[in-house]
Amino acid sequence: MPAPQCSSCHAARAALRCPRSGQALCGACFCTAFEAEVLHTVQAGRLLPPGAVVAVGASGGKDSTVLAHVLRELAPRLGVSLRLVAVDEGIGGYRDAALAAVRRQAVLWDLPLTVVAYADLFGGWTMDAVARSTAGSGRSRACCTFCGVLRRRALEEGARLVGATHIVTGHNADDMAETVLMNFLRGDAGRLARGGGLGSRGEGGALPRCRPLQLASQKEVVLYAHFRRLDYFSEECVYAPEAFRGHARHLLKLLEAARPSAALDLVHSAERLALAPAARPPPPGACSRCGALASRALCQACALLDGLQRGRPRLAIGKGRDAEGPPGPPPPPPPPPPPPPPPPPPPPRDPGSAPGPAAAGECGAACEGRCAQASL
Amino acid sequence: MCQVGEDYGDPVPEGPPPPRPGRELRCVKCKDGLPVVVIRAGDAFCRDCFRAFYVHKFRAVLGKNRLIFPGEKVLLAWSGGPSSSSMVWQVLEGLSRDSAKRLRFVPGVVYVDEGAACGQSWENRAKTLAEVKLILRSFGFPWHIVALEEVFTLPPSVLRCSAQEPLGTEGTYKVAVDSFLQQQHTVGGSPSPTQQEEQLSQPCTQDPEDPAGPPPAAHIEALSRLFDSVKTLTAKEELLQTLRGHLLLHVARTHGYSKVMTGDSCTRLAIKLMTSLALGRGAFLAWDTGFSDERHGDVVVVRPMREHTLKEVAFYNRLFAVPSIFTPAIDTKAPEKASIHRLMEGFLLRLQAQFPSTVSTVYRTSEKLVKAPRDGCAAGPRCLLCMCSLDVDTADSATAFGAQTQDFSQTQPPTPLAEAGAAPMPCCSAEVGRAQKCCQSTLLCRREDSQVIEQLCYGCRVNMKDVPSLDSLPPYILAEAQFRSQRPSQDIQEYLVENSDEEVHTTGS
């Protein structure tokens, strides 16, 4: 049975069905439509004014690869110039392979590439060191929290190095949907209040950031990369299985099976959330140590690093976020990883739940990873 | 056991033996009674303390919000399930003479028979109704039984928000309570309570809302047809909730009730919050899950059970023998992946087992939501079905709504669809939520359907996508859609006073 005709150009044979509308399209028309959508998002949202120098956060993964490729195609129309900025978090066996992919892309597209490393920026703290330090001190790994905060700081630094005026990242609709689910499950009203738009305008001296792929679903991104034959690094981060986001991701997969438009529906909900003024974060000022955008005396990155330095990695995570006492002396590079802190007393088990295998960490042991008895 | 090396010369040190888990555990409240139930994260309560804790929570929620004025008529929406049964029981006990600080409002109970939507035969429904009547009579309040088929006889005024009554502020609440108490004293002690009891006892003997037999066969047929035609269980559940809400509103308005109490528990509200999020109703979370929901204007929906977890409700009902009845619902025995509601429920309860604070965290976040449009834009037209302000953007905006309505793959205009006589309609117009579907389907996108879709909020639009033919919706919805789409033209628009009561007083239509 021959494939139907492309419903757009009516010339070529259809090669795929568009995930959003179910239309049969050929590869070229799909890619054209995808690029048109991204262009529309950027123009309607007024994200990148002409003359902007745009730092693309390139991780080597599919989202940032597609983003860089599309923006490179659209750059003449938008009147912007691109720079690639890659962040080396120091995750062995993962990040080095991904960076190789970014380097290949930079050569292929002839775009300037800058690599910023955690080890240089944050006094020798690579993600592997952070992970060793935070292991066993909670139910799920906290190192992903660190990675997110520090990476944003690193991206900012890299963008400044190349003289950029805007930062773009490749978050897609599925990422935004997972974020809003995750923030609700964790009760993070501050992040809920801040999120939802297409990016931040950049108050207080921070560079404006945006996410041009926000309205494209993950399937469309993957299809685009497939049809444009893009070379990207497709493995998962070593620490990803333990991140809390995994729950939200799993939930989103289930929701999409029940209702295909679930990701965009969640993005719409996130756009329209109305939180009480008391729950919103205070207007941002400047960090007292590094001068970056901060809601409190210390920006989150400095607070987290402080905690690591003192051997109390959970200092800036959770309720008591303010760093205690005067800031310590600047850390010498590279410090030996401090011994893991004593595990907190195990939380009382909810007796209502059926007796079953203990969730990871609940027995209070300071294990590197989740024990085999973990239920999920 | 004798300790090795114990010196028998020294006195044995006095002190309470360390509590061994599982035995010798005492109630955490009174430290005296033997615990019968453990709630929250390990709090063991004895029977009396648990009852006091439970009742106190119920009263505290009502008292904190000060929305229910003394002497007010309140309709209790009872589904027969554990939470609403518990709520009715609390009201019953709260009104009894010997309770401390008795409740002061005048309740009525309503039961909605949804058997037709669940595909039950009339025989089964009649059996259930007989049991329901027994329990309703035992409550002692005026009661009403309505069948869901009555939505086919609802007037379109149900969908109109009537003029807002000012919410009771601190001052007016206190004033009302004081004057009520004064009244009681001046009339001479107990006459008002007995008057109230007479009021309550009278209608029971008359059975005012007892439907004598099954609703008209045409209505049963129409309802079954409507629910059978809906493609997904998610849309069915949402439609059922919408229709049920309208019916309750109608009953409340007809019999003069100004408040409706529903028995949503904390667990259910957390699930409902996450479900609404996934359905695209992020703008209306505060109304859907807050304590009070005043979107209808004159009738306010109140949720007094919102701080009780399902576990507490279940234990209370068991310990104190609260009568309840099981009726199969539309999603009974449905597999977990069948609808978004089921998925969220399963997900949250599983996550709760792993992280015991999940439900309370989600619930607490819901308390931080406010009932206002995000950017403070003026209240515009309201959704036809859920009666919240529309939250759709223009079709070409860089938002999720814009992304769904725009179609970038159409490089050439679609070939005009064959139509009997009339000129090709702009079925790809931006307002129609299913632009992409009409381009490829052979069915026409009808003007009537697009009329209804235009007036729906984002969430309702996504739901209606699963209803293939909007004609099978009850007539009051279609009539109201028709009426609203014939808005006065631009010429006279400037002379009309905004939000006047003109619409409310239109008869019929």
**Which of B234, B398, B404 comes nearest A41 by C-beta?**
B398
Query: Quick one: what percent of chain B has pLDDT higher than 70?
Result: 74
User: Which pLDDT value is given to residue B21?
Assistant: 53
Q: Tokens for A296, please give them.
A: 């409190």
**Using CA of residue A226, residue A231, residue A235, residue A240, what is the dihedral sign?**
negative
Residues ≥6 apart with Cβ < 8 Å to A217: A19, A20, A172, A173, A174, A263, A264
User: What is the b/e burial string over B162-174, where b = at least 16 CB atoms within 10 angstroms of the residue's CB?
Assistant: eeeeeebeeeebe
* A5–B contact, CB cutoff 8 A: no
Interior CA angle at B41 toward B325 and B326, to 5°? 5
CA distance A70 to chain B (A): 15
Inter-chain contact B372–A274, Cβ cutoff 8 Å? Answer: yes
**Strand order across the beta sheet in which A199-200 lies:** A113-117, A81-88, A53-57, A166-168, A209-210, A199-200
d(CA A345, CA A297): 30
User: Which pLDDT value is given to residue B373?
Assistant: 64
* A353–B contact, CB cutoff 8 A: yes
User: What is the b/e burial string over A65-77, where b = at least 16 CB atoms within 10 angstroms of the residue's CB?
Assistant: bbbbbbbbbbeee
Inter-chain contact B404–A18, Cβ cutoff 8 Å? Answer: no
Inter-chain contact B411–A139, Cβ cutoff 8 Å? Answer: no
**Which of B311, B340, B407 comes nearest A352 by C-beta?**
B311
User: pLDDT per residue over A282-329, tens digit each?
Assistant: 777 777 777 777 777 777 778 878 777 777 666 666 544 444 434 434
Helices (H), B102-164: 122-139
Confidence of residue A222 (pLDDT cuts 50, 70, 90): very high
Q: Which residues in chain B have Cβ-Cβ distances shorter than 8 Å to A265?
A: 278-280, 400, 458-459, 462
As a dihedral over the C-alpha atoms of residue B344, residue A217, residue B377, residue A203, rounded to 10 degrees, the angle is 110
CB A173 within 8 A of CB A263: yes
Q: Tokens for A269, please give them.
A: 């909900």
User: Which pLDDT value is given to residue A352?
Assistant: 37
**Using CA of residue B179, residue B185, residue B191, residue B197, what is the dihedral sign?**
positive
* A267–B contact, CB cutoff 8 A: yes
Residue B388 has pLDDT above 80, yes or no: yes
User: pLDDT per residue over A110-165, tens digit each?
Assistant: 999 999 888 887 777 787 877 777 776 554 556 777 788 888 888 888 888 899 99
Q: Which residue of chain B comes nearest to A374, CA vs CA?
A: B354
Q: Which residue of chain B comes nearest to A362, CA vs CA?
A: B354
CA distance B367 to chain A (A): 9
Residue B67 has pLDDT above 80, yes or no: yes
d(CA B227, CA B240): 9
Inter-chain contact A8–B411, Cβ cutoff 8 Å? Answer: yes
CA distance A68 to chain B (A): 20
Could you report how far apart the first and last alpha carbons of chain A are, in Å?
A: 43
- Cβ count within 10 A of residue A231: 11
Say what the pTM is: 0.80
User: Which pLDDT value is given to residue A325?
Assistant: 39
User: pLDDT per residue over B317-335, tens digit each?
Assistant: 999 999 989 888 888 888 8
Query: What single-letter amino acid sits at A337?
Result: P
What ipTM describes this predicted complex? 0.79
User: Which pLDDT value is given to residue B83?
Assistant: 94
User: Which pLDDT value is given to residue A347?
Assistant: 39
Residue A336 has pLDDT above 60, yes or no: no
CA distance B217 to chain A (A): 33
d(CA A37, CA A21): 14
Confidence of residue A358 (pLDDT cuts 50, 70, 90): very low
Interface test with B, best of A171, A252, A268 (most B CBs within 10 A): A268
Inter-chain contact B42–A184, Cβ cutoff 8 Å? Answer: no
Q: What is the mean pLDDT of residues B470-480?
A: 89
Enter the DSSP assignment of A235.
Answer: P
CB B303 within 8 A of CB B267: no
DSSP lists the bridge partners of residue B76 as B109, B261
Q: What is the mean pLDDT of residues A88-100?
A: 82
Inter-chain contact B398–A40, Cβ cutoff 8 Å? Answer: yes
Residue B351 has pLDDT above 70, yes or no: yes
Inter-chain contact B398–A375, Cβ cutoff 8 Å? Answer: no
User: pLDDT per residue over A263-282, tens digit each?
Assistant: 999 999 988 888 887 777 77
Q: Where would I find the beta strands (DSSP E) of A223-352?
A: 285-286, 293-294
**Which of A187, A274, A277 comes nearest B365 by C-beta?**
A187
In terms of Cβ atoms closer than 10 Å to its own Cβ (0-12, 13-18, 19+), residue B226 is: buried
Q: Tokens for A337, please give them.
A: 């990883």
Confidence of residue B166 (pLDDT cuts 50, 70, 90): low
* A272–B contact, CB cutoff 8 A: yes
Closest residue by Cα to residue B437 from B421, B423, B453, B460: B453
CB A15 within 8 A of CB A227: yes
d(CA B318, CA A168): 57
CB B274 within 8 A of CB A255: no
Query: What single-letter amino acid sits at B165?
Result: E
Residue B337 has pLDDT above 70, yes or no: yes
Which residues in chain A (203-262) have CB-CB distances under 8 A to chain B? 215-216, 247, 251, 254-255, 257-259, 261-262
